[in-house]
Amino acid sequence: MNITRTNTRDWVSEPDGRGTWGILSTCVLTIILCCWTSVSPNLPAQPDGAFRKWRYKFDLAFITLLGSEFLLMLALGQWSSARRSVHDFHEAGYKGWTITHAFFADMGGFQIEPPDIDLLPPFPLDAKQLYILVKGGYIEYPRLEEDEIKDKSKSDGVAKLITVAQALWFSLNCITRFAQGLVVTTLEITTLSFILVFLVTSYCWYHKPMDVNIPIILKPKKSVAIIRSNFNQNYESKWYETPLEFLSRDEWFYSRFWRYYIQILHYMHIPLFTRPERQPYDRIPSFSIPRVNTQAEIICAPTILLFSSIFLFAWNSDFPSATEKLLWRLASVYTLTYGLLGGLLSLYLHKKMFQPGLTKAMSQANVKRKIGTENEWTSRLAERFRNIDPNQDPNLEIPLRALIPVTLFCVFYCVGRGIILTEDLIGLRFLPESAYQTVSWSKYVPHW
């Protein structure tokens, strides 16, 4: 099939209106602003220098560029955890605990300094751990005003305001182009998808402090050993992140797969989201995704649906070749399929395999299977694939019957995402004439 190339042009200069460089630069600028200003990494470790602090933010921004849904789930999970923390503290009578306090705790803003008897350096507490220790009388409630946390925050409100203004203006321009029958390029459609996720994540992280560097040190009334024993935890038993992780650690469906794939990147020497090198952890990694609540799921479902379907707007657009048009359609359909079926698959696996009680029973069954098939190399290979964590953390184990279909589903999605991003750029080499026409705003101005 031959594509008619009449009324199309190659590179177009700027002076008389929209040009190729104008389209490219505006979209790239908007995407960079959305990716950079929306991300909010957790507190760095104290020894971290300026480069590492910048790297933590770059990792979040880069993963947003590759797949905005990942950042969306991260923001929704942290928002859910913060809301749970506010509810818990308020029920316990601490009415001064705000969602800003909760975000500050979950990003590693409070560190516990164990007494010398524990022989442990300071390590961070998340919001739930802090709540349990305060309620149990092991730590004094931190008398910290919300304004003090905001004073620590280096949030650049001007940059965020500029990004919001740019995003809204860009969206209005694209909508108006659609209304006037002018071509909206695939790059502009992709930029709209970034804007959608930017607006939702900005809402979720509105109260999260930005670029805080120094945590608040809390001193417990009793040793960590006594605290662990009071919760029926043997002090000598193995822990993987901090000695008090058992108080709150809840690796759910999404977080297990998320950390599994991050570990694969590390094995491929692509160290996105480096984990703390020290045990106990000296910071809460920015890639930690808490379990989302019902309110977050209500926000997530329509956002993912709209994000997944937005690429279909270019279904009948003009492409430089028939092959590129076919690839775009296939990638767009699969993106929507991933959003719909992926959500249903996630819900099924989450309910059937990754509930806390089911996960524990599954791990015990794996231990029995390992004992009964010690000499079978296939069993050992399967065991290796179920858990690729360097420390063999049992909290990160994934059954193969979930791992294989989800991984295949994600691989095809990454291929489709790559096709879309590639076509966004190479498609600029050959655009219809109307792609370079500017919006006629005079149509919306009343004439007297």
Task: Spell out the per-residue pLDDT of the chain, length 448, in tens.
Answer: 333 444 566 777 776 668 888 899 999 999 999 988 888 899 999 899 889 889 999 998 888 887 788 889 999 999 999 999 999 999 999 999 999 999 999 999 999 999 988 889 999 999 999 999 999 999 999 988 988 888 877 766 778 888 999 999 999 999 999 999 899 999 999 999 999 999 999 999 999 998 888 999 999 999 999 999 999 887 778 899 999 999 999 888 889 999 999 999 888 888 888 888 888 999 999 888 899 988 998 998 899 999 999 999 999 988 999 999 999 999 999 999 988 887 788 777 777 777 665 555 455 455 445 444 445 667 777 888 889 999 889 889 898 888 998 999 999 999 999 999 999 999 998 888 888 888 887 666 555 5
At residue 414, what is the residue type? Answer: C
Nearest alpha-carbon partner for 67 in 413, 424, 419: 413
In eight-state DSSP terms, residue 221 is S
At 371 the pLDDT is: 46
394 within a domain of the structure (yes/no): no
At residue 191, what is the residue type? Answer: T
Both tokens assigned to 171: 């969206």
Kindly compute the dihedral angle of the four CA atoms of residues 371, 376, 365, 249, in this order, to the nearest 10 degrees: 100
Nearest alpha-carbon partner for 286 in 28, 132, 55: 55
% helix / strand / coil in the chain, to the nearest 5?
60, 5, 35
Cα(first)–Cα(last) distance of the chain, in Å? 51
Nearest alpha-carbon partner for 216 in 128, 129, 152: 152
Both tokens assigned to 348: 């099924």
Both tokens assigned to 279: 């045990």
Q: How many H-runs (helices) and E-runs (strands) does the chain carry?
A: 15, 5
Both tokens assigned to 426: 């190479």
Helix (H) or strand (E) holding 437: none
331 within a domain of the structure (yes/no): yes
379 within a domain of the structure (yes/no): no
Both tokens assigned to 287: 């890639």
3 within a domain of the structure (yes/no): no
Q: How far apart are CA 113 and CA 120, in angstroms?
A: 8
CB 164 within 8 A of CB 34: no
Burial of residue 276 (CB within 10 Å: 0-12, 13-18, 19+) is middle
Pairing of strands 431-432, 123-125: unpaired
Beta bridge partners of 8: 432
67 within a domain of the structure (yes/no): yes
What is the three-class DSSP state of 248? Answer: coil
Count how many domains the chain has: 1
At 275 the pLDDT is: 82
71 within a domain of the structure (yes/no): yes
181 within a domain of the structure (yes/no): yes
392 within a domain of the structure (yes/no): no
Both tokens assigned to 184: 């909206």
Structural domain of residue 349, as residue ranges?
20-353+399-438
Nearest alpha-carbon partner for 402 in 328, 341, 329, 348: 348
CB 283 within 8 A of CB 53: no
At 361 the pLDDT is: 47
Residue 12: C-alpha distances to residues 174, 190, 217, 320, 354 (Å):
19, 21, 59, 16, 54
Rg (CA), the chain: 25
